[in-house]
Structures are given as structure tokens and as C-alpha cells.
């Protein structure tokens, strides 16, 4: 496993993101919707740095069955009403763009006053969708990353740093987790 972003770098990046969000929204009430489960650590760190009145909700997405990517499933049952509200959608990683694009489309149907997106990580060279997140904390290389909420087969979410898995790491977890 190779460290890409240290705990300190992540902390500085999230603080910079919070400063940008505070500048944009100032004192306007904001509803933050986090895409679960990977963004939960980012959400917890981020909301403690925001100064405006907040409402928080989550939407759960899933497109992986084990290590295989499949059809995106979206569960918005835990999301608060966003009609006529300022909404910020928070996600852990912007890879191909499919997940963020589909969640944004779902949320637009709920008629928020405004809708912006923030992502912790954007993988370079992977985007298949013509979408640019409003806030991007870090651009990273096209590697499989874990830590700070991101997982591989439900492992590694608890790492306080961001790491790229090497082939041996994937084999080791793959032989233990089925």
C-alpha cells in the first residue's frame, strides 16, 4: 500500500474546501447531502468547519457487487426534503462521473433552489461524463484508493490517510473477503 495523501494533507484540503463553501454560501442556510458510504468521513470533518445554518442528509448509492461494477442503485429514503433549498451534494471520489451525474439528475427532479457538488478526489483521465464538480479538493492519479472513508470490499475505510492499493494488497484482501 502506498500513501497518496497524509492525514495532515487531508485535513488541510478539507479546511480549504470548507473555506470555499463558507465564502460561497456565507450565512445562507445550506442542506448538505452526502453520498454514502465513502463520503461519511469527509462529511463529518467538513460540517464541523462550516459556519452557516446546516441541514444534513444522505443518499446511498451502490454500483459494485464485490469487485464488479454493475447498475447504479440509488436509495434516497434518508434524504430530507430539498425543494427550494440551497443544496450541496458531497461525494468521496469523482471517477467516471456516472454516480454523481445520476444523483444530480435525481436531485434536480426534487427542485432545489440551487444544487452544487463537492468531491474530495477527482481521478485524472477517468471521466466519461461531461460534468465538472463545483468543488474539487484533490486531483489524484488513476489508482485504486482506500482510506478516509473509501474502501476495497469493505476494508480500509478507517485509515486516516489515503492510500493506493498495490496488486499484493488486492490479492491479500481478495483471499480473505468473499
Active site residues: 95
Residues 170-177: contacts with CB within 8 Å, 24+ apart? 170/144, 174/67, 177/153
List C-alpha distances in Å: 103 to 84, 91, 93, 156. Answer: 17, 10, 13, 25
Q: Please state, in angstroms and rounded to a whole number, the distance separating the CA atoms of residues 69 and 98.
A: 12
- Cα 98–Cα 104–Cα 109 angle in degrees, nearest 5: 130
Check if the beta carbon of residue 74 is closer than 8 Å to that of residue 102.
Answer: yes
Contact partners, residue 57, CB within 8 Å, separation at least 6: 31, 32, 33, 34, 78, 79, 80, 82
CA distance 12 to 41: 14
Amino acid at each position: 500500500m502506498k500513501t497518496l495523501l497524509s492525514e495532515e494533507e487531508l485535513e488541510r484540503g478539507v479546511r480549504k474546501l470548507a473555506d470555499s463553501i463558507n465564502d460561497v454560501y456565507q450565512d445562507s442556510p445550506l442542506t448538505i447531502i452526502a453520498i454514502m458510504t465513502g463520503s461519511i468521513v469527509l462529511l463529518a470533518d467538513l460540517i464541523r468547519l462550516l459556519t452557516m445554518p446546516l441541514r444534513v442528509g444522505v443518499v446511498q448509492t451502490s454500483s459494485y457487487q464485490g469487485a464488479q461494477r454493475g447498475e447504479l442503485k440509488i436509495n434516497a429514503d434518508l434524504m430530507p426534503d430539498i425543494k427550494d433549498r440551497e443544496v450541496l451534494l458531497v461525494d468521496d471520489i469523482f471517477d467516471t462521473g456516472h454516480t454523481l451525474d445520476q444523483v444530480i439528475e435525481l436531485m434536480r427532479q426534487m427542485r432545489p433552489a440551487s444544487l452544487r457538488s463537492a468531491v474530495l478526489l477527482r481521478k485524472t483521465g477517468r471521466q466519461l461524463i461531461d460534468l465538472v464538480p463545483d468543488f474539487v479538493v484533490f486531483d489524484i492519479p488513476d489508482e485504486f484508493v482506500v482510506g478516509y472513508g473509501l474502501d476495497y470490499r469493505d476494508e480500509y475505510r478507517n485509515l486516516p490517510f489515503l492510500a493506493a492499493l498495490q496488486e499484493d494488497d488486492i490479492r491479500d484482501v481478495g483471499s480473505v473477503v468473499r
